């Protein structure tokens, strides 16, 4: 999936777009990548002597990947967007540093009406950096 297709699927924009490319996608699962370059805006203040990608941004990257996955389940004329409703069982397993590329795997585990339940695993170098479960619901655009 090209960057323009990612931008068409979700409302996020630089500098807060945390998905660089879609590697694989089907109806239930998506695999994305994001490379955190040394000049990312948050490294200047987040442990500047020992820069680390904030764990919350790793979670956000996974939820953005989930939003791209959910976009195919929404009607193109629908004036709603998926938004995070819940995160649970968040486990930070390793730090991600400038220059690292993460792989973001998100899977839909259940759907109940307008709520989707998903699981996420963000890894670098084949090792998990964060795993968690989250839920999304639909919110009207512009509100």
Which pLDDT band, with edges at 50, 70 and 90, does 79 fall under? confident
**Predicted TM-score (pTM) above 0.85:** yes
Report H helices in the chain: 3-9, 55-71
What average pLDDT does range 122-139 have in this prediction?
96
Scan for tokens 């941004």, then name that residue. 57
How many CB atoms are closer than 10 A to CB 91? Answer: 10
Contact yes or no for 20/103 (Cβ under 8 A): no
Given 25, 46, 84, 139, the catalytic residue:
46
pLDDT tens digits, residue range 11-22?
Answer: 999 999 999 999
Q: How many whole angstroms separate alpha carbon 143 and alpha carbon 141? A: 6
Residue 76 pLDDT > 80: no
Q: What share of the chain is helix, strand, coil (3-state, %, to 5)?
A: 20, 45, 40
Confidence at residue 57, expressed as pLDDT on a 0 to 100 scale: 98
Confidence at residue 143, expressed as pLDDT on a 0 to 100 scale: 59
Q: How many whole angstroms separate alpha carbon 3 and alpha carbon 37? A: 17
46 is catalytic: yes
Residue 109 vs residues 22, 48, 102: alpha-carbon distances, Å? 20, 38, 22
How many CB atoms are closer than 10 A to CB 14? Answer: 8
pLDDT tens digits, residue range 103-114?
Answer: 999 999 999 988
Contact yes or no for 6/65 (Cβ under 8 A): no
């Amino acid at each position: 999936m090209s960057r323009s297709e990612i931008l068409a699927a979700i409302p996020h924009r630089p500098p807060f777009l945390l998905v660089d490319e879609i590697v694989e996608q089907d109806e239930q699962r998506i695999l994305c990548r994001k490379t955190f370059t040394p000049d990312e805006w948050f490294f200047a203040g987040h442990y500047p002597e020992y820069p680390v990608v904030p764990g919350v941004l790793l979670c956000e990257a996974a939820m953005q990947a989930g939003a791209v996955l959910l976009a195919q389940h929404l009607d193109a004329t629908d004036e709603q967007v998926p938004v995070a409703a819940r995160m649970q069982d968040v486990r930070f397993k390793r730090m991600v540093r400038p220059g690292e590329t993460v792989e973001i795997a998100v899977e839909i585990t259940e759907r109940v009406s307008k709520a989707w339940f998903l699981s996420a695993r963000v890894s670098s170098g084949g090792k998990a950096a964060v795993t968690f479960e989250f839920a999304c619901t639909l919110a009207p655009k512009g509100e």
